[in-house]
Structures are given as structure tokens and as C-alpha cells.
Structure 1
């Protein structure tokens, strides 16, 4: 069953290119439907829709997609692919892809580290100095 509620991303004629890009990064992903106006795809079972709506609207950080990662290898995979081809790095695990969509690539262990009152302040200090998260540095903070 696909999700009944899913995001629609507004692209300036690049919906299919975006869908192909995202499907190349995430396992178990595929384009499920396409026509000149709309492209639908699934990333790990979650449905997305891209609309070729023109240049009226641009993406910004008010909406981002979070990728929770088990390992540093996963973080590196998603981060490196998302910033490739004109994407950009930001702070604290945030980046933008080539289409301007914002992503948060975060270690799953982060919430556990933040829940420890003795460690949380040091963890925040550590990740405020990072662009891409480094799990080992967070654990050792």
C-alpha cells in the first residue's frame, strides 16, 4: 500500500531528472508514473510527486527531508550523492541537492546522545562545528 499523504515537489521542468536522481541514490526506489506535468516515484516505499510547475516557486530550508542513518558509511553515501552535481553543504548535517531541495543526513544515535543530560551539551558543541555528521566524533564528545 502506498502512503495516502505524500509530498509534491515543485520543479522548473526538472521533475523527471529529479526523480531519476533520487531513485539512483536510495535503494528499493523506482519511478511509478510519469507524464509531461507530473512524475511520481517511490523511495524505500514512500511516495513522492514532482510537478513541472515552472519557475514561480523555489525550494528553501523551511521544508527538508531527514535521512536517519545507522552507520558513517550510510551518512557518507547519502551526503556525497546529494551534494554532487551542484548541491551544497550546510551546517549540522544539512545539505541541498542540485535541485535546491534541503536534506538532513543524521545519525540514528543522535537522539540517544542528546537524551543523555551529561553528554548532550558536548554533543551539540561538537555537531555545531560539523557540516557532515561524524558519528565517532559525536560519540567521543
Structure 2
């Protein structure tokens, strides 16, 4: 059964490749049904992969191979992935950045298809939620980082 709410991500023509990448990197992720274009369309031809169903960490998504468009993905939409260990943070960050992605600041990165990700350790979100001096120190520490370093955040929390 199709979920009532699904994230739709636009790809030029590589939705299946992206879905397979996400399924290989993240737990509770999989590639589902692939639908093919029944006729030619702007940016594509009949028989081409048109829509790819997939999940990313349990979140239902579809990838639409819509061809080149005059707009692109930006940071106003991102997947935020909570991590519990430095090894988990490294695995996801390095998986995205190391396969054609780009680093950004404060735990943000972009995959090779332009989708934005926040690889965010729970130690950071917990510190920010604590408020006060703990939040201020954790915030100051993260502002200097690209990939989040758990030990540095933990040291900032301790003061």
C-alpha cells in the first residue's frame, strides 16, 4: 500500500542509482518498485525509469527522473540523521562525501545528486536542548566544524 505522505525527490535521470546508494548506506532503507514512462515526456523517453520507490531509514520516498530543470535542491530541505557514536557519524558522513558529495558546515553535507543531509550526533542535540552554558559551549564548538566530532562536543559540554 502506498503511504499517504511520501517525500518526492527530483533527479535528472539517476533516481534508481541514488535509491540503491541510500539503501546500501543507511539501515532500514530499501529500493522498492520502479515505474517506467509509458510515453515520451519533456526530458525523457518511453520506457525510461520514471519513478523509483525507496525508503531511507524508514522514511518513504520516491525518486522522480524528471530531467534537467532550472532549479536544484538546496538546504531548505534535508534529511537529518541522528547518530549515537563517532563511528556511525563517520560512516554516514564519509559515505556521502566520499562518493561524490560535498562537505558543508556544522554537520551538513550534500550527496552527489544534490540532496542535503545533516549528520547530527545526539550528544549535540541533547546539549543544545539542555540550554544555558552547556548549549552555548556546544554551539560554539560545532560552529567550527564540518563533520561533527563527538569528543570535541563532549569536552565542550564539560567546559
TM-score by length of 1: 0.94
Matched, 1:46 2:55: no
Q: 2 CA distance for matches of 1:45 and 1:65? A: 12
Which residue is 1:9 aligned to? Answer: 9
Q: 2 CA distance for matches of 1:123 and 1:28? A: 30
Which residue is 1:29 aligned to? Answer: 29
Q: 2 CA distance for matches of 1:136 and 1:82? A: 22
Whether the 8 Å contact between 2:105 and 2:145 is mirrored in structure 1 is yes
Which residue is 2:121 aligned to? Answer: 107
Residue 2 of structure 1 and its aligned partner are, at CA, apart by: 6.7
Residue 3 of structure 1 and its aligned partner are, at CA, apart by: 4.2
SS of match in other structure, 1:118: helix
How many residues align? The count is: 141
> Greater CA deviation, 22-31 or 130-139?
22-31
Matches within 5 A, 1:1-141: 3-35=3-35, 36-56=49-69, 57-114=71-128, 115-141=130-156
Aligned alpha-carbon RMSD (Å): 1.4
Q: 2 CA distance for matches of 1:2 and 1:45? A: 14
Stretches of structure 2 that go unaligned for 5 or more consecutive residues are 36-48
Q: 2 CA distance for matches of 1:2 and 1:37? A: 17
Residue 139 of structure 1 and its aligned partner are, at CA, apart by: 1.1
User: Does the C-alpha gap of structure 1 residues 127 and 2 become closer, same or farther in structure 2, counting only changes over 3 Å?
Assistant: farther
Whether the 8 Å contact between 1:3 and 1:46 is mirrored in structure 2 is no
Q: 2 CA distance for matches of 1:44 and 1:95? A: 17
Larger Rg: 2
